[in-house]
Structures are given as structure tokens and as C-alpha cells.
Amino acid sequence: MTEKVDRQAHWQQVYETKAADAVSWYQPVPQPSADLLKLAGAAPETGIVDIGGGASTLVDWLLDEGFRDLTVLDLSDAALAAAKSRLGGAASRVAWIAADVTKWRPARLYDIWHDRAAFHFLTDPGDRAAYVDRLRKALRAGGHAIIGTFAPDGPQKCSGLNVERYDAEKLSAALGGGFRLVDSCRHDHVTPWGAVQHFHFGTFMKL
């Protein structure tokens, strides 16, 4: 099996065997994503794609806030199914894409690319390059990319997988030219069992 197939199978199993609120990355309130979306000027008509959104509650918050152009992309059909089930009829107001972001072919442009804790799982340089290629193709000029990863002092593994840790400088280098860092912040995420995980969030404008 290739690494990509293994990654997809891994996340499918995670969401088939664990409740959405029993995984380490669960957030009842999507912070600091909500604040960073506001910083990026998000409005109800803003086109937002949530990369690796899975069963995240961010889409619930966005719908409650009146956002109308929402897309959630994730490797795991089971994760997306959990989100759809939770949302009920409101799920029809969201575009759902089951895909590996490194293989995805964006069919449109978005105003905001949001990724909380997907990019840091890409430990292979080729996968990271493919991710950035999709980011460039999917984000309009003047749009914003909000990317959250484990900070340099964050965990070295998550869900049994190795991760790559980032600060603002390293994340900027990973994205390469054509992006301007707008905001950099740390966030201490508390898992459902009380452990603290140190995150870094970088907000970039595509030039």
C-alpha cells in the first residue's frame, strides 16, 4: 500500500471507532479559528473551504453565524457522515468533499482556506508540495489561508502518526513565495481528557 492509501484507511478507522467528541482534537467551540476568520474579513457570502474538517464543529458555528458558502473536505467518509448526522437538515447547506487534499482537483476558487491540524500530518515533502499546489489553485488572489499546526513545543505524534511541527517562519517557508503572513498566534488546546497541546496558527494572504 502507498502512504496515502494508508493515511485514508487510518482516518476512516478512527472515525468509525471513536465518537467525534472523544478524539484529542475535539473542540466544543472552534477557537481560535472563529476569531481568525473574522480577522480575515469573513462575511456571510465568503466562500470558505475547511480542509480536514471531518467532524469538526466549525461548520456548525459558521452556519449559526449565517455563512452561506461552505465546503468541508476530509479523507474520511465516516467523519463527514458524523458531521452531516449532527447537522441534520442543515447539512444540505454545505458542500461535502471526501478526498485526499494532496490529490484533490479544486473546481472553483475560495476566499478563505481553513485548515486546523491537517497540514502537520504531511511529513513527506512530496505531499506537502502537493498540498501547497492545491492551495494555490483553490485560493483566489487576495484570499486568506488559515493554517493551524502543532507548535515547535507541541506533540510529536497525534493519533499514532508522526507530525511536522511549525512556527511562523517554518510555515511561511513551507508555503513559499506568493503568500504574506498576516497574523501568527499560539493556542493551547485542551483535549477532552484535560491534556494541553500547543498549536501555532498562521494566517496568510495570497498575493
Close Cβ partners of 125 (under 8 Å, ≥ 6 residues apart): none
Q: Which residue carries 481528557 as its cell?
A: 193
Q: Which residue carries 494572504 as its cell?
A: 205
Q: State the pLDDT confidence band at 1, using cuts at 50, 70 and 90.
A: very low
Average pLDDT, the chain: 92
Residue 22: domain span: 3-206
pLDDT tens digits, 34-54: 999 999 999 999 999 999 998
Whether the pLDDT of residue 19 is over 80: the answer is no
pLDDT tens digits, 61-94: 999 999 999 999 999 999 999 999 999 999 999 9
pTM of the model: 0.92
Close Cβ partners of 159 (under 8 Å, ≥ 6 residues apart): 10, 14, 23, 24
The end-to-end CA distance of the chain, in Å, is 38
Query: What CATH number is attached to the domain comprising 79?
Result: 3.40.50.150
Q: Is 26 or 207 the better-scoring residue by pLDDT?
A: 207
Instruction: Note the pLDDT of residue 10.
Output: 65
Q: Which amino acid is at 128?
A: R
Contact 164, 122 (CB under 8 A): yes
pLDDT tens digits, 115-167: 999 999 999 999 999 999 999 999 999 999 999 999 999 999 988 899 999 99
Q: Is 97 or 15 the better-scoring residue by pLDDT?
A: 97
Number of domains in the chain: 1
Q: What is the mean pLDDT of residues 102-107?
A: 97
Whether the pLDDT of residue 60 is over 90: the answer is yes
DSSP-assigned letters across all residues of 22-47: GSTT--SS-TTHHHHHHHTT--TT-E
CA dist list (Å): 92 to 17, 96, 112, 118, 142 = 25, 9, 20, 24, 29
Q: What is the mean pLDDT of residues 164-179?
A: 98
